[in-house]
Structure 1
Amino acid sequence: MSDMIKSIDYTTELPGGAHWSLRVRRGSIMRLADIKGAANLGMLFYNPENLLERYNAPDTLKCQHTFKLTRGNCLYSDMGRIFASIVEDSLGWHETVAGNSHASHVESLWGTRDYQHDRNDWKQNGHDAFLVELAKYGLSAADLAANINWFSKVMVNDEGNLQLAADHSQAGDQVTLRFEMDTLVMMHTCPHPMNRSTDYPQSRVQIELGVAEAVQPDDYCMHFRAENTRGFQNNALYHIGIGE
């Protein structure tokens, strides 16, 4: 087992075109694995104690001087706190700029989605998948933020246009998050908005949950950028008086 992980206590799979949400406690580990290859896992974070605080993609990229996410990067809220740190990553590139697929995208590429006819084989889109999960907590479209797309890589081509990298994630690729504060996690396995596959993607993702090893003074993520050290200090201030 990784030296970042104390234990893995729960494992599940999210099929292609599915969605899920859960509250993850501070000090937890979430390890994500692409089962078949070519996965896309959209994800958003909210503070369960204050749902107005949520993942902020611009601040996450700007303060760490990056366009991509990988090991060492921290995932920031709009209050300057760190929801989670990326402690392991086999890919080296995950994107957080392209957003979600919508019903119109899915219909134009793969036909009309219709649960009444297709049941669980219907063609879900990322935007609506997030809305379903948000509604469970009294949130709506007004609360959507720019999301992470794990396992996906978006580059700029020679003409200056964004382009989705084909065959970026292979079967078995993994990324591991360590949660630095209690977090409401929303996720879906719907197609990336720039995916132009012939068939509707059905890539599954394995999700493992467990307990992280304690953060050490020389933690790689904490010192990956000077801004991350300040982010951890913001979290420490936020957690004063809260028991471990």
Structure 2
Amino acid sequence: MTYAAGYRHDVPGGAAWSLTLARGSTLRIEAQGTDAVASMLIYAADRQERLNVPDTLKAQMSARIHPPMVLMSDMGKALVSVTGSSSDWHDAITGHSLDGDLTRFGPSDYGRDRNDWRRSARSLLLDELYVHGLGERDLHATVNWFVKVRPGGDARGTLTYEPGHTRAGDWVSLRAEQDLLVVLSTAPHPLDPSPQWQPAGVRATVTPGEPAPADDASRTFRAESGRALAATERSVR
């Protein structure tokens, strides 16, 4: 759905939501509980481009997302800039939860649990994508806002989820560098070891703004981030 600047929406834990963002507007996401997760997909409004997580990380020499990085499309253009955050670590390498990740919580279905039906991020994201005429072929690697996953230190390179990394009130701010479709899920992270189903929600706030100025931190962060912003600006003029 399209929301006017200044709109605020609370997304419950274990749910999904989507919105379109106008170029220059800011989306602020705030955690409403411990270990909140916002697994996010991003597409250009015309659906011709989508977030490319591997290129985003490789181009900016990072294994995590943090300010003032630029999230890049599969055509090397800037989709959003991370303009601020209470955390310097957001996961972008482990992906979102699948149905099999929920088996530890026991069986669940709508007929029995109604609105408390436990669903994976994949299932929730797909439901939102269908609303916009998209589907499984349009899924891509997510950014998992508020999650920290670190190396486990073993020879296999195991990744370890860090419980308690996020508390209520933690936040991240994203500036849309072009008109966008954003889809997110608040299902638990696939590596979260908690045996209890208690996903926290997030609050999303949209405010008006302007595209990146010449001296913006995201533009000067790395040469690659500056080129991605410049490529977007050439295409939207």
TM-score by length of 2: 0.94
Shift of 1:213: 4.5
Q: Which amino acid aligns with 2:52?
A: N
Matching residue within 30, 33, 49 for 1:53: 49
State the alpha-carbon separation in 2 of the partners of residues 8 and 182 from structure 1: 13
Aligned residue for 1:22, secondary structure, equals strand
* Alignment length (residue pairs): 232
Unaligned runs of 5+ in 1: 1-6
Partner of 1:153: 148
Shift of 1:215: 2.6
Counterparts of residues 10-21 of structure 1 (less than 5 Å): 10-21=7-18
Query: How far does the alpha carbon of each residue in 1:136-159 deviate from its partner, in whole angstroms, 9 at most, with x for none?
Result: 122111111101100001110111
- Are residues 1:136 and 2:123 paired? no
State the alpha-carbon separation in 1 of the partners of residues 198 and 209 from structure 2: 32
Aligned-residue Cα RMSD (Å) equals 1.3
Shift of 1:8: 6.4
> Any conservation in 1 of the 2:22–2:176 contact (CA below 8 Å)?
yes
Partner of 1:39: 36
Partner of 1:4: none
State the alpha-carbon separation in 1 of the partners of residues 146 and 203 from structure 2: 12
Normalized per residue, which structure has more strand?
1
> Any conservation in 2 of the 1:74–1:86 contact (CA below 8 Å)?
yes
Partner of 2:111: 116
State the alpha-carbon separation in 1 of the partners of residues 168 and 130 from structure 2: 32
> Any conservation in 2 of the 1:41–1:151 contact (CA below 8 Å)?
yes
Q: Percent identity?
A: 36
- Are residues 1:88 and 2:81 paired? no
> Any conservation in 1 of the 2:37–2:145 contact (CA below 8 Å)?
yes
* Consecutive aligned runs of 4 or more in structure 1 exceeding 3 Å deviation: none
Partner of 1:3: none
Q: Which amino acid aligns with 2:147?
A: S
Q: Which amino acid aligns with 2:105?
A: W
In structure 2, do the counterparts of structure 1 residues 33 and 63 end up closer, same or farther at CA, with 3 Å as the change threshold? same
